[in-house]
Amino acid sequence: MELKDTAYIPLYLDYSTNNTELEDCKRSCLSTCSCKAAQFRFSDPANTMGNCLLLNQVFSLVNNDGALNKTTLFIKVQNSCNLQSSPLSEKKQKRVVTIVGSTIGASFGLLFMVLTCLAFVSRRRKGLEEAEEEEFLDHVPGMPTRFSFEELTVMTENFSKKLGEGGFGSVFEGTMSDDTKIAVKHLQGFGNVKKSFLAEVATIGSIQHVNLVRLVGFCAEKSHRLLVYEYMANVSLDKWIFRRKQEQFLTWDVRKKIISDIAKGLAYLHEDCNNKIIRLDIKPHNILLDHDFNAKVSDFGLSKLVGKDESKIVTAMRGTPGYLAPEWLNSVITEKVDVYSFGVVVLEIICGRKNLDRLQDEDDMHLLSLFKRKAKETQLLEMVDKNCEDMQLHREEAVEMMRIAAWCLQSDYTKRPSMSLVVKVLQGLVAAETDLDYSFPYPPMTRRDAEANQERELAVVGISLPVPSKLSGPR
């Protein structure tokens, strides 16, 4: 078979015969048994004479059109007219088919065995990791009760009474065998779910404090991850302070006690645990109220444990816009980020509104901006919740509480008080700082900015935060 302007790779070969004709090159290959192909390279302008190379190996083909020296390639093939079917050739073909089939079958069989072994090793490794994880949970001191998934399914009536959506799953109402109500958080999804589960269990499993939501138990069975909390009858704090139309408002004494309860819970986390615990996401949605309106800090999935000797930690940004301290921008934080968030929550409790409220006039949408302006105008009394008559009767006391909030909101975190100092101030044991800077770091927002921020309010880096709360259990 003749192929013009075609050559074998490599292009530059050592031609064995020089100054010969094209047909002589072709006949030389046909007469040589070992020759598989002949490559002829023209060496004169008339393309009549050239160099001949006989090849006994098969190389890759390349188009040589346009090259300085044209080439023609002859490939030796069997003449189709000489092909005769014979028993011998048929037998040979069958043998080839058998060999090829056996080779392919063996290859697939080997591949299947390798994949099976890899799957087995992967499952075994996963099983060992789960066993190590569960063994770790079993040996954590003071761990709460461990429930089976079947037990929790019965307690929650097959998870039929949904209380709301949490950051990593749904929360369901349940009842234990002794008629004790519980809130069961069923963690779902991937990514941080496992990490969050271990963080919550390891952090609050052995912690007992009246102002922290108690973890009753947990479930770590196969892929199931559930947390069982004490049931909080009066839902989360945001339900009581952000609703404009409601028959019952929290009185000043109740609000003052809630502020004190939050401060005590945070002071315990910061200073009285074996390891300092920074809550990282203090907001009304995460403050739950029991039947007697005792406030408890909940949901430690975002907590960061720090050794007592560590003054600062570096972590990814966590929390909710509006409650984040300015030092988050540097990613180096201390427990003072909780103090800042506490200051924002105190203002919201006293004013009965969100720190970012789109229903307000544009100048008043941002609570900290309004706080700064009213402090400068000495009109803080006007900020006290106007929807509650009892709050209006205690406006002077409420303003004093605002000054404690301002102390907690100082831009320089070293000038903020510790939570234990806040507790002492609330108890009347020490006086609050009076030399305060009201130049808070958050500038006023336009209505368009506020609307855009509202869409992002429940989503921050690495966190999927709850939809508007509907739950009586922990978030």
Question: Could you list the active site residues?
Answer: 281
In 3D space, the residue among 43, 37, 53 whose CA is nearest the CA of residue 2 turns out to be 37
* Residue 221 amino acid letter: E
* Residue 426 amino acid letter: L
In 3D space, the residue among 313, 250, 297 whose CA is nearest the CA of residue 475 turns out to be 297
Q: How far apart are CA 385 and CA 392, in angstroms?
A: 7
Q: How far apart are CA 372 and CA 410, in angstroms?
A: 12
- Please provide residue 322's backbone torsions phi and psi, each rounded to the nearest 5 degrees: 100, -20
**8, exposed or middle or buried, with CB in 10 Å at 0-12, 13-18, 19+?**
buried
Rounded-to-10 torsion of CA 410, 414, 419, 424: -90
**Parallel/antiparallel/unpaired status of strands 145-146 and 215-221:** parallel
Give the residue carrying structure tokens 């954590």: 140
**271, exposed or middle or buried, with CB in 10 Å at 0-12, 13-18, 19+?**
middle
Q: Name beta bridge partners: 145.
A: 217
92 in a labelled binding site: no
Q: How far apart are CA 472 and CA 229, in angstroms?
A: 11
**391, exposed or middle or buried, with CB in 10 Å at 0-12, 13-18, 19+?**
buried
Residue 426 Rama label (left phi>0; alpha psi -120 to 50; beta): alpha
Binding residue positions for ATP:
185
